[in-house]
Chain A
Amino acid sequence: MIETQWYLLLSAAVFSIGLFGILVRDNALLYLMSVELMLNAANINLVAFSLQHGNLTGQVFALFGMALAAAEVAIGLGIILVLYRNFETIDVTVPTTMRW
């Protein structure tokens, strides 16, 4: 068996990559992809602990998480469409009307 730390390290790495994408990217679609990466990192974590405890609940939760990620992407794409309609661009640094 591979020890649990390595799974957790993998999960942390994927999460940080996703976070890096959120902090750096300015294209809305790539933004959504980074969010997906973060969600999947959480799934890896869940499955790793399911193995560690010997309980299938972790895998159920991970399944749920995947489905929710898909749903969220669907809605996110819809929002990006509306954003494009209102601001003529999908650059996330342009819509700044909700500010001081």
Chain B
Amino acid sequence: MKRPRLATDLDLAPGIAALALFGVLAAVFLTASFDAPAGFEAGLSVMDGIGYALFDLVEQSPLVTEGFLFAFLAIAVVLDAALDGALLLAKREGGDES
């Protein structure tokens, strides 16, 4: 196996659109004025907060972490569905699941 080389046989002309988009976005972001970031309290652990929420002990942490719970559940369902979809697409005619 050869080591990876930089691809030089590509047609790079359409890439200019991507560079143009970067230029426009950079111009917008750098000239925008934001308020000072209001970060989180120092020393708080998000992971602890998620754990407390999992065990229905929300009062133990000042962070609002119930959103994560829903995310976990939804992700589980979606990934399961995606797995089945991939298997379906990959199945050959009369073949077996691999």
Contacts and interface: CB of A to CB of B under 8 A. Distances in A.
B-side interface mostly: helix
Interface in B8-24: 10-12, 14-15, 17-19, 21-22
Contacts of B37: 1, 3-4, 51-52, 54
Residues of A in contact with B, size category: 35 or more
Contacts, number: 114
Given A22-B18, A59-B46, A67-B78, 17 more contacts: A1-B39, A4-B34, A23-B17, A24-B15, A51-B40, A52-B34, A52-B37, A52-B38, A54-B38, A55-B64, A59-B68, A64-B75, A71-B78, A71-B82, A74-B79, A78-B87, A78-B89
Interface of B: 7, 10-12, 14-15, 17-19, 21-22, 25-26, 29-30, 32, 34-40, 46, 63-65, 67-68, 70-71, 74-75, 78-79, 81-83, 85-90
